[in-house]
Amino acid sequence: MTSALITFYGKTDGSSTTGDFSLDSPILHSTVTYVRIPKGMKAKVWCKRISGEVATDVIISYTDDVTASSPTWKELSHERLASPGELILEKRRPVVILGRTGKEAFKVSWSQPSAGNAYVEIEVELTDE
Amino acid sequence: MGRLLREGEYLVVYIPPTSKALVFRVRAVYNKYHDMPYGPLPLTSGTTLPTYDGGTTNVPADGVLPARSYTYSGITFPYSGAYDSNDMWYLPKDYRERVFHVIQHVVPEFVRIDVQVPNGIEQARFQRDKVMLGVPRDFGFTRGEIEMIHLPELRVGYRYGNDTNMDVKTFVKFTYAEYVIEVPEDPKEVMDVLLGKVERYWFTYPVSAYVTAIEEALKKTYGYDGFRVPTKYEPELIEEYSKLIREVREVFKG
């Protein structure tokens, strides 16, 4: 069984009401705006921690083909931080995205009624089980 | 994944292309602390690697496996002070009483791994030699962990692939044992080990092509390239084993 547990971290830019998080992690040399899932593996999003100075929606979307010139992103998970503070969501049943072709990917986005600083951490397992 | 052996256990290294096997008894295990946190993969900043998308990319920093890249040539592990400081698992034939049993763990665990024996020869193949496999292709590799027996005179190369879009910092831990081995004296004992009548650890050597370099390495090191593996008790093989054992023991005496 192969299993890699990765913590990704991202923050809003503080000036845009919508956008995609640049995701960073201790194992990454440079940030990414999406994560491509190896063929035959699954991405399991086990946990989301959201904090912010303003109300913030955090959306996980996936695409079947990230290599397309304009990938089609479909919403898969939507969490709402209703007011300044933090929201911790530990998922006993994770959000699962299967890599069937090796071109699937997911991204994490934000949406805010008024722009402000907000932060997200997600725990993602890349596994073949 | 495999396990390391203890003193007294038998190790069988089966070589599929010849249907022969090396049979060893572990006399001693050097270094009881088997974990070696090696560090990042020996990838040097600026090295050009091929990508799964058809182009090339450069290693952005030491030990980083770039997004969508793989190593086309096998990598060896440098270690200062080792017999070969560029390949810590390599030993010459004079070390014939030694065998390294190495389980390699790579972080992040989704990294693809395969092995070349000898280094430079792709050994994962499909339908004889119809399709070459391994890290650059869809299958013929493992992820995150690989087990290998390192025999003297054979230089082994490991290849790695990252089919995600992330430039990842890598880390390697080896769980290994340095066995002091001997070849059993009794041909019947060899037969029993090969037939599974006594407990043994069976390792299928990851080779599909029995290239000359492998045969030469085995013959230089042990004086033979393995015992023919019986499917049932075959008394006629006893004499053959007996002759091989005499020759091997002469080689070990030096």
Average pLDDT of chain B is 96
* ipTM entry: 0.96
- Predicted confidence at residue B31, as pLDDT, reads 85
Share of chain A above pLDDT 70, in %: 100
Contacts of B107 in chain A (CB under 8 A): 4, 27
* B230 and B195 within one domain: yes
Return the DSSP state at A24. B
* B80 and B54 within one domain: yes
- Predicted confidence at residue A91, as pLDDT, reads 72
pLDDT digits (tens, 9 = 90+) for A32-82: 999 999 999 999 999 999 999 999 999 999 999 999 999 999 999 999 999
In a domain, B222, yes or no: yes
Q: What is the mean pLDDT of residues B85-95?
A: 97
Q: CA dist A27 to A7, A24, B47, B96, Å?
A: 9, 8, 20, 40
CB contact under 8 A, B163 and A102: yes
Average pLDDT of chain A is 97
* CA distance linking residue B118 with residue B161, whole number of Å: 19
Return the DSSP state at A110. E
Question: Helices then strands (H, E): number in chain B?
Answer: 3, 17
Q: What is the mean pLDDT of residues B38-45?
A: 98
Paired sense of beta strands B200-204 and B10-15, if any: parallel
* B203 and B172 within one domain: no
* B227 and B185 within one domain: yes
* CA distance linking residue B29 with residue B26, whole number of Å: 7
- Which domain-ending residue is among B115, B146, B179? B179
pLDDT digits (tens, 9 = 90+) for B143-198: 999 999 999 999 999 999 999 999 999 999 999 999 999 999 999 999 999 999 99
The topology (CATH level 3) of A3-127 is Jelly Rolls (2.60.120)
CA distance A111 to chain B (A): 25
- Domain with B153, as residue range(s), is 35-179
CB contact under 8 A, B163 and A28: no
> Is the Cβ of A124 closer than 8 Å to some Cβ of chain B?
no
Interface test with A, best of B164, B169, B170, B171 (most A CBs within 10 A): B164
CB contact under 8 A, B169 and A126: no
In a domain, B3, yes or no: no
Least confident window among A88-92, A112-116, B100-104, B221-225: A88-92
User: Where do the DSSP E strands lie in B35-185?
Assistant: 35-39, 48-50, 56-58, 64-65, 98-107, 112-116, 125-126, 131-132, 142-143, 145-150, 157-161, 168-169, 171-182
* B126 and B41 within one domain: yes
* B175 and B85 within one domain: yes
> Is the Cβ of A75 closer than 8 Å to some Cβ of chain B?
no
- Which domain-ending residue is among B179, B203, B231? B179
- Predicted confidence at residue B1, as pLDDT, reads 75
Taking CA atoms, what residue in A is nearest to B64? A29
CA distance A25 to chain B (A): 9
* B110 and B149 within one domain: yes
Q: What is the mean pLDDT of residues A89-114?
A: 94
Enumerate the domain spans of chain A.
3-127
pLDDT at B32 over 90: no
> Is the Cβ of A55 closer than 8 Å to some Cβ of chain B?
no
* B222 and B151 within one domain: no
Q: For chain B, what is the domain count?
A: 2
Contacts of A39 in chain B (CB under 8 A): 138, 163
* B56 and B153 within one domain: yes
B144 → closest Cβ in A2, A102, A105: A2
Taking CA atoms, what residue in B is nearest to A26? B169
3-state secondary structure of B71: coil
A122: number of Cβ within 10 Å: 27
Please give the distance of CA B177 from its chain centroid, rounded to a whole number: 13
Contacts of A32 in chain B (CB under 8 A): 67, 165-166
CA distance B40 to chain A (A): 11
CA distance B132 to chain A (A): 19
- Which domain-ending residue is among B121, B150, B179? B179
* B141 and B184 within one domain: no
Share of chain B above pLDDT 70, in %: 100
* CA distance linking residue B111 with residue A77, whole number of Å: 27
